[in-house]
Each structure stands twice: as structure tokens, then as C-alpha cells.
Amino acid sequence: MKQLCLLFAALGVCSPALLAQEASSPFVNAEKGVYGYVSGMVIASAEQVPESDYSFKPTPDVRSMGQIFGHAADAQYMFCGDVAGEQPPVKDIEKTKTTKADLVQALKDAQGYCMKVYGSMDDQKAAQTVDFMGRKFPKLTIMSLNTAHLDEHYGNLVTYMRLKGIVPPSSAPRK
């Protein structure tokens, strides 16, 4: 866990407090770090893209950038809500939010919600199973699926951004 945290510290997503934390939950802490990095890149993208590009679609049959941001927020609430054993506290962001300010805030709020769910788990609780899409999965697996889903859509955003001449946050020079 220490090496992973050092890697994420270099990327700016691992706090000294996390590095100093006891390694009592290495699996949860590692996944939380990966999630923090990926969700941070999506939020940074939403902040970086001009609002005028939120309606951009490379082809008519795919989501716009703004819709991807909304979908990403909705999905985070869905995955993390299932792990928390509750209905997502927010729904239909993709269908109801269109402004940059609203979508950036929705992504930040979704990240905060998922981080709260991570904060409620240790490795033992992460191994507990819950129903998800008709099957039983360990909670940490669902959290990992959340990260994978978010990373998949970050990949979409990277392509969209490059088509608009924008350097994605993960490719930008480090400060």
C-alpha cells in the first residue's frame, strides 16, 4: 500500500494522512486511491472543457461531453448507493443538468458520496456481498467496477477533448 500511495502522492491524490494511516485495510485503501485518481481526472476534465463544448458529439449517435459528465455522476451514485445499501440520493443528472457549473458540482458531489462509502469500509466489510445486477458481489468488487466504468468514460472524454484540441488532464505536464 505504501508504494501505491507514494505513486498517487506523486500524482497529487494521496494525502500524507493516508500515507501515515495504518495499513489495516490495504485493499480498500488501494482501490480508494485508484478511484480518487480517476474521478479526479473526470472532474478536472469537466472543469477544463469550455461550456461551449459540453454539447459536442463526434457523431450523432453518441453522448455529448456534457451527457458523459452527467452519466458519470449518475453511475457513481448508483454503484456506491448499491454498496451503501441505499437508493442513490441523486438521480437523472444526465437528463436534468446541462450547465458546466451544475455538472462539475454533480461530479464533485458524486465523488464525495463515493468517498463517504469508502470511508465506511474496511477490508472485512469490503468482502461482504450485496446484490448487484442480479448477482451477489463483494462490495469492493462493485467499487472497482465503479472505477472501471468511470475510467472507460474518461477514455471517451480524452478522445472528445483531443478532437477539440484540448490536452486532457492526465496528459498535461505536471506542475
pTM value > 0.75: yes
Q: What is the pLDDT of residue 1?
A: 47
* Rounded Cα–Cα distance for residues 37 and 72 (Å): 14
Residue range 92-120, pLDDT digits in tens = 999 999 999 999 999 999 999 999 999 99
Going by pLDDT thresholds of 50, 70 and 90, the confidence category of residue 7 is low
Average pLDDT estimate for 135-155: 98
Q: Where are the domains of the chain?
A: 38-47+62-165
Q: What is the pLDDT of residue 173?
A: 86
At residue 158, does pLDDT exceed 50? yes
The architecture that CATH gives domain 38-47+62-165 is Up-down Bundle (1.20)
Q: What is the pLDDT of residue 175?
A: 76
Average pLDDT, the chain: 91
Dihedral-angle region of residue 10 (phi above 0 means left; psi in -120 to 50 means alpha; beta otherwise): alpha
* Rounded Cα–Cα distance for residues 65 and 45 (Å): 10
At residue 18, does pLDDT exceed 90? no
* Rounded Cα–Cα distance for residues 48 and 168 (Å): 8
At residue 20, does pLDDT exceed 60? no
Lowest mean pLDDT among 20-24, 26-30, 86-90: 20-24
Average pLDDT estimate for 51-74: 98
Q: Which residues, including other chains, have CB under 8 Å from residue 2's CB and lie 6 or more apart?
A: 19, 23
* Rounded Cα–Cα distance for residues 165 and 147 (Å): 26
CA angle 107, 148, 9 (to 5 degrees): 70
| 87 in Cβ contact with 77 (< 8 Å) | no
At residue 2, does pLDDT exceed 60? no
